[in-house]
Structure 1
Amino acid sequence: MVTGLGLYLLYQTALQGQKTRLSQTAKTQALLLESMYDTIKNPEIIENTVAQASKEQDNSQTATVDICKLLGNQIILINDRTEFSKKTIVPLSSNLAQAMHKALQGYSGITFALDHRGIKVLAAYEPVEYLHWGVVAKVDLAELRAPYIQTGIYTLLWASVLNGLGGLFLWRLCHPMAKELQQEKTIRQDLENRIAKHTDELAQINQQFHQEITERQRLEEVREREIDLLARIMETSPVGILMVNPNGDIVIASEQAEKMLGLLKTEQGYQMPPWRVSDEAGNLINDQKHLCKQVMEGRQSIYDVREMIEFADGSHILVSINGSPVFDETTRLEGVVFTVEDITERFQVETALLHSETQFRAIFEQASVGIGIVALSGQFIRVNQRYCELTGYSEAELQEKTYQDILHPEDFNPNTDTPDMNNFSVEKRYIRKDNSIIWIHLSGSIVKDQNGQPMYIVGVVEDITERKQAITALKESEERYRRIIETTAEGVWSIDLNNRTTFVNQRMAQMLGYTVEEMLGRSILEFTDTEDQVMTLQKLAPHQQEITESHDLKFLCKDGKSIWTMISTNSIFDAEGNYAGALGMLTDITERKQTEKALQQANIQLIEWNRKLQQRNQEILLLNQISDFLQACLSVEEAYQVIGELLPTLFTGYQGAVFIINETSNLVEAVATWGEDLHSKTLFTADECWALRRGKIHWVHEQSHLRCQHVHHNVSTAYNQSLCVPMMAQGKAIGLLYLCYDQCEPISPTKQQLAQTVAEHLSLALANLNLRETLQAQSIIDPLTNLYNRRYMEEALKREINLAKRKRHPVGIMMLDVDHFRQFNATFGHEGGNCVLKAVGSFLSRHIRSGDIACRYGGEEFLLILPEASLEISLQRAEQIRQGLKQMQVSYGEQLLSQITVSIGLACFPDHGKTIEELIKSADFALYQAKNAGRDRVVRYTVDL
């Protein structure tokens, strides 16, 4: 019993030591796997590495560490030495491999259980957290108990032998030595006690010795397997692995680490090359052992520390470093395990991809043209902000529509609006959200997959509405000028740089007796005598140097006769400034030439004729100058100033004025005057002028002639002449050119013709300016409310914000929305709703300051810009407008509409936004709060909203 008790105590002590060693082994293996995961980040690579290392181990060794994972309802033994298809698989519901089951559930501990082979073992189990694996370190109970059972058997046998020997000795001495029986018994008892004592001591020594040998062998096997597994991992790992002792010296390095870091292995250890280390921000790190110190001082792992290593040859790499401390059984720090991964190429690729994606997003969102991605069915997938601005819809609204929904019905073409073409470019019309029409230029391309099958369409949309309007206006202007040229009394002739005819008007063709088609394409020399061709070329040569001159040239008519013409030419240059031809204004001066020839001897008449010709030429030049200035004017008022400055030079010695008819009041008002006394009213009705009433030129040169009522009658008219020339545009009088002459000689027909020509030029120029101003007003005025539209609002708000930044004053912005506007439309129809919008627009126009800007933002929303208005002033003005609109009565037909209330949101620059978008967004958000609060109120934007 004593021997058995001793053996039992020894067994329990050995069992407790075995538990400690198994627990430490399981924790070490779990820590090693977690360190590998921190470095590689790929469970599959780690599994293959562990499996490969297990295959190459010595099969004679007894496996003491099992690494397992959960696959569905089965437990897979990862480090099994068989192929995957033959790996040990244990059902989750089985009573076998209980330690593996607990490890996979996230528990750690030690237990007696059956392993996957059905053998009862002592097993320590640990979970591998990041991989969701389990590690089991085990030892067979049969092997653990065998030495103690064997020792017990030996002891029992030895005791039995001693007992037999003693019995035999007693039997031999019993008869002759009965007397000494008691002594012998005592001696035998003492001997037995001593033998038992020595037997116990021997058994204990034998047990301890056998236990130490067995444990040492087992530890050596575990250590060899761990070292072999670590070596395999270090050889096959794609990252560098380093083991650093507490002094910061490298004691173990994988081959990958040596290559990557340029480590030189010597007899004393590893020698680090002369590199420069800096952090990710580029700051130089002088202490190369700082990471080792950080791990050892904190006694915690570090993850993904990025550093730049620059070698002596100038090359550099970016590395990701992970480190974990290593402890012995007594938790004493033995060193640090580092993994180093070269992430230079990955970082460059990630940076390039991030930069590329950022550029693409910026280009897509900030493009000045609309970009849309459309499905093959026409459904919008994604659009940028500019596309939303062009159509008036938000991106969410467009994603619920198709391309055909916003396309003008007349512009739908199945040949171009279906995905049958790879690329297309067309001009079409879009119907915006507010039902307005815009012209767009659409360039599309079909994106295909790897098999060449269409996936979606990418379209680029550019707003060409203004260009279309400009083309229409240009065509109209060209048509007007063509009509002028065709109806002018002078011939117009255009030639190219080879002197070939590119254009002649009907008058020019009639002068030579040809048709226009017969003259086109022929050289100008074909219409001159042979002896005159050299002179003609000489007179055309200066135009190539941009010299404008007038010449008299003789041309041959189709019937063989010749005519003399006075030609005033201007050079034509192309877009690059190269001479491209000339344009000439030709006047038939055949009669003049004949008269000159007949009156060559009359020197006085010839001088007078030359003077008149020079005057006429000067008048034409002045008229051209006036026309140039008028065409360059930007407004009608500027044109009036030009007329007042230049017309006196054309009518020297005359008093005069230019009058304009006000269509509203039918009054004729002087806009430009010259001379000392006009002898005429400056404001009168159109009925007071015979020229305006008859639509013809009216000249008064004698007292008996009918004098216009606007001409003063209380002056002497003996030498007072007046000439009224109506200014006509498109068959309608728009003004009057009035001339007064105090000399006795009558106003010559030439001067009258000049006056009529001037009137025609003035009427044409002023009509064009009026048309231009009308078109400009239409482009910025909302036709329904007569307020500025949203386009003008954005320009005005941008201008006011820039001015406010320079002068450091606030700008108020008021977002106004008509409450329950849909009820007006539902009750009275769209006309009734339009009546409400007109009334609100009229009210705003009458009740804002002269510097304020009222705009229709869209639908029933209005926006007011209040320059130099603080938030308090804006709030006061908003409340006045709200109360005023509420008291306003609006009638539709004979029916009085219900009371109009509005909700108003206020914001102020710069407190609520420093850009147009931020400011409008703040006001719109305040308006939204006013609507939610019950409508008919003013809410100003605050950060709390």
Structure 2
Amino acid sequence: MTSPNHNEDPRLADLLEVIFKFAAGDLTARGTLSDDESALDGVMAGINILGEELEANVAGNKQAQEASLESENRLRTVLESVQAGIVIIDPEAHRIVDVNSFAVRMIGAPKESIIGAVCHKFICPAEWDQCPVTNLHQTVDNSERVLLTATGERRDIIKTVTAIQLGGRSHLLESFIDVTERKRTEEALRANEESYRQLFESSRDALMTLAPPSWRFTSANQATLELFGAASTAAFTELGPWKVSPERQPDGRSSDEKAQEMIATAMREGKNFFEWEHQRLDGSPFPADVLLTRMDVGGEVFLQATVRDITERKRAEQALSESEALLRTIFDSVQDGILLAEVQSQKFIMVNDSICRMLGYSRDELLELGVEDIHPEKDVGNVVLQMARLAKNEISLAPNLPVKRKDGTVFHADINGTTIQVKGISFLVGVFRDITERQRAEQAEELASRDGLTNLYNHRRFYSFLKDEIIRTQRFNRPVSLLMLDIDHFKRVNDTYGHQAGDAIIKGLSDLQVQQARTVDRVCRYGGEEFMVILPETDATMAMQIAERLRATVERQPFDIGGGMMVRITVSIGVATYPQQANALEEFVKAADLALYAAKEGGRNRVTRYEAAMAGKD
């Protein structure tokens, strides 16, 4: 480029700098529409001065004509390099006489089809009939208009119109820039802001914003005012977070200090979720969940706070905690041992203190074990089978299972079990009751109920059995019969062979009766050489058959009394049936006794059934 003419307008140097910055894109930074308007103003001012310079140089001498050519070239250079569409219009015909390359690209048509066209074909098509620019001295600055491209697409533009002199005639120079995308962005932003505002105001959660550096509240929705008891947004926005909090938080820290820390975390990490003790304006405290979210909008940074009152949740948590503590106390204080095992793995996941004491393990040790670890190896198969039946609810009690302590000793327990479902996983709750003491008591009871010589149930246990059978008979309306048996001439045996021989015969006869008895029958030693046999669900006819078979067997059976000697004996048996022949337990026994007496009176070695006539012979 040649040196500028010394007669140039002194404004030209500065304006050329503006023009070429615009041409280089320096003034098209992404900003508001006003930024584009300012840049466009600079371009137009520079072009106008170049136009004036060009016009002034036209009338001079050869040197002036050369300067004019130089000015024209400079104008063309600017028109082609500037980042804006420029058209030069004949104001009388409203036709385009020149256009720069940027405008060609914006319109999307060949340059030759643009030049000569009516300007309103492309620029401001709605103004074809009534163009507002009719005065060549009238300018239009930064007016929002529409550009119609060759494909029919409507684009938003900002247009500036000014009059220039070219070739001795006045022309209109229109410069415009495309702001379609920017307007769309701004409209979307406004729509988003409106949507945000609507969501902000309608949210059931308390929403508020805080801005640096004071971090006071700058806005609040209606839910916030209701939550904190504020009369208005204006009143609330005079406060900061520490003003709606007690002096100290539950951890003892200052609310002011801790609030600043929470804010700093949110600014650094983008968000911060935490529990906070808030305080209403009337001084009443309440717990809250707080979410601080960093917001970057339009170059401004602030925080949005979402506050949710969790008073009810805290109460529920407290109630649950107290309930769990109570259940844990009960769980650990019951005397029975309790285990919770996962059904599939059979591993323990919860144990109480009683089972720990019962097995001799610490809680942590026991939680490392499973079902198979607390039972003798030889019994594991049966135990696993019983646990499976409990898990399937086929049974509710697995009785008398062997359980192995940590030291290897074994005790027996009744195990009650049930299954529960937690989040789709099956668990077996096992309740262990150590039956060691019960077994000892039962053994002691058994010993007390047995005859020392014969090991048959004794006189006392006989009456217990008979009472139970009478109750069962009354409930199910089924008969029960009673055999009362006595050894014939037993005194003679004792006198002849001695008491040891008599004991041997009593023992041998006891064993024989047990062998002959059915599974449900009860054989008892009533006293001396007398025996009682309880026959459940047996009528008089069947009882007579059983008694006769027993009598005959005894008669055939020799009894070893020691020293290689064998002795034969006979027995007499009385038979009675309830309820046909008695209405009460005592009457029932008495009837059998009378029948036995009748058998002996009748010659011994026989079976006699009770008859009502026998009662008169008592």
Larger radius of gyration: 2
Higher RCO (CA-CA < 8 Å; seq separation 6+): 2
